């Protein structure tokens, strides 16, 4: 708990640099864990999050994507807010979408895509598997395509 407390304070102190006007606030719940509130701060990067985080507020932080694996270690997370962010829904959003499907009841309100136009306002968890098919090993599919073209030429 003491170690976690240090980590809990750490993002707060790093975020109080002059570059960011509004730091993340970290509140300790003696038995339940920590609340990390970064809402309404413009985050250039996501601060270190202790695995003891039970509540995480990332609304209106200007996030356009979530780095793969970000929430994986937060196994005690009970509440997460992500709304008001300009999420760009391309291959990089796949991690968040898969995580949301498995953790439906953790998010306070469904985050939506802000761009591209095709999926504007669409809840991220409702992006279909088809939406992400082009993300699967593009170099491999390119090879298959080249082989097929090559075979057509031979014929
Ligand atoms: C988080 O911080 C913002 C900005 O200071 C505040 O408006 C909001 O109420 C806080 N949210 C929670 C859940 O503490």
In this structure, the residues whose C-beta lies within 6 A of any atom of ligand 1 are 37, 39-40, 57
Work out which ligand 1 atom sits closest to the CA atom of 41: 4
What pLDDT shows up at residue 153?
78
- Kindly indicate the confidence band of residue 64, based on its pLDDT and cuts at 50, 70 and 90: very high
Summarize pLDDT for 90-121 with one digit per residue, the tens. 999 999 999 999 999 999 999 999 999 999 99
Report domain 2-129's class: alpha beta
Q: How far apart are alpha carbons 60 and 103 in whole angstroms?
A: 21
Question: Does residue 55 or residue 148 have the better pLDDT?
Answer: 55
Question: Does residue 61 or residue 27 have the better pLDDT?
Answer: 61
| Tokens found for residue 23 | 């730091």
What pLDDT shows up at residue 21?
45
Q: How far is the CA of 151 from the centre of ligand 1 (A)?
A: 61
Task: Give percent of the chain above pLDDT 90.
Answer: 55
| Tokens found for residue 77 | 């997370």
Work out which ligand 1 atom sits closest to the CA atom of 81: 13
* Residue 118: closest CA among 139, 136, 101, 134: 134
Summarize pLDDT for 114-139 with one digit per residue, the tens. 999 999 999 999 999 999 998 876 56
């Amino acid at each position: 708990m003491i170690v976690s407390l240090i980590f809990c304070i750490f993002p707060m102190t790093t975020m109080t640099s002059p570059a960011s006007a509004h730091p993340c606030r970290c509140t300790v719940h003696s038995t339940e864990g920590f609340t990390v509130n970064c809402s309404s701060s413009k985050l250039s990067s996501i601060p270190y999050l202790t695995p003891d985080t039970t509540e995480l507020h990332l609304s209106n932080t200007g996030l356009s994507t979530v780095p793969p694996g970000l929430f994986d270690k937060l196994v005690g997370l009970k509440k997460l807010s992500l709304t008001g962010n300009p999420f760009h829904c391309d291959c990089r959003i796949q991690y968040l979408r898969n995580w949301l499907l498995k953790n439906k009841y953790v998010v306070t309100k469904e985050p939506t895509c802000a761009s591209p136009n095709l999926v504007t306002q669409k809840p991220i968890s409702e992006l279909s598997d088809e939406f992400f098919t082009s993300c699967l090993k593009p170099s491999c599919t390119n090879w298959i395509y080249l082989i097929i073209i090559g075979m057509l030429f031979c014929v």
